[in-house]
A and B are shown apart, each in its own frame.
Chain A
Amino acid sequence: QVQLVQSGAEVKKPGASVKISCKASGYTFSTYGISWVRQAPRQGLEWMGWISTSNANTDFAQKLQGRVTMTTDTSTSTAYMELWSLRSDDTAVYYCARDSCTDGVCYIDYWGQGTLVTVAS
């Protein structure tokens, strides 16, 4: 079965960076993209961006441009998201999610369990 297993919770100081991993299993990693979505405490969902696992193309939410990088390691079926210059409002649960595409239309079908990132001094 499809599984996305993320790395554990992180506590970071303002200005630092955080890198979260997402290991996929149960499907062919390179045939599905990976999106990252975050959820601040008691808030809704916010799409952060997407990476193609076949050619490493990326697309980021405008508000995060310049502060986020997304990479993949196809040898280990793992995706990574790194967020720089952390602020208190970056405190959130971060999810990786699989993008399923059919006829050029893509959507998120499976989600990781989430990684809590707390930014505090």
Chain B
Amino acid sequence: QAVLTQPPSASGTPGQKVTISCSGSSSNIGSNYVYWYQQLPGTAPKLLIYRNDQRPSGVPDRFSGSKSGTSASLAISGLRSEDEADYYCATWDDSLRGWVFGGGTKLTVL
């Protein structure tokens, strides 16, 4: 069981906006930055969002992150077929003294 809670699946049609949530606690999301990773089928994860809401160079501005209290979310606007992937949230946990991940959300573009 993952420490961070994500919905197992999400879906949308091309052009729509989809939001993926990530819930934690005061020892992880509540006191540390949140990161989001995209994992396309059969490939390694790729950094999508760092420090809650920052995009690495090369990541389209269709992807945005936010954090409030012990929860975070990833929004994808203008959905495209190539966005179909698994998305993971991650953060440091002060109690466990290690990185923790969400269980992942499989995004389907209908």
Contact = CB atoms under 8 A, between A and B. Distances in A.
B33 A105 contact: yes
A111 B88 CA distance: 14
Contact of A47 (B43, B50, B98): B98
Interface residues of B, number: 23
A47 B46 contact: no
B50 A109 contact: yes
Q: Is the interface of A mostly helix, strand, loop or mixed?
A: strand
Interface residues of A, number: 20
B97 A59 contact: yes
A47 B90 CA distance: 10
B44 A44 contact: no
8 contacts: A44-B2, A44-B102, A45-B37, A45-B101, A47-B100, A107-B47, A107-B51, A111-B44
Interface of B: 2, 33, 35, 37, 43-47, 50-51, 56, 88, 90, 96-104
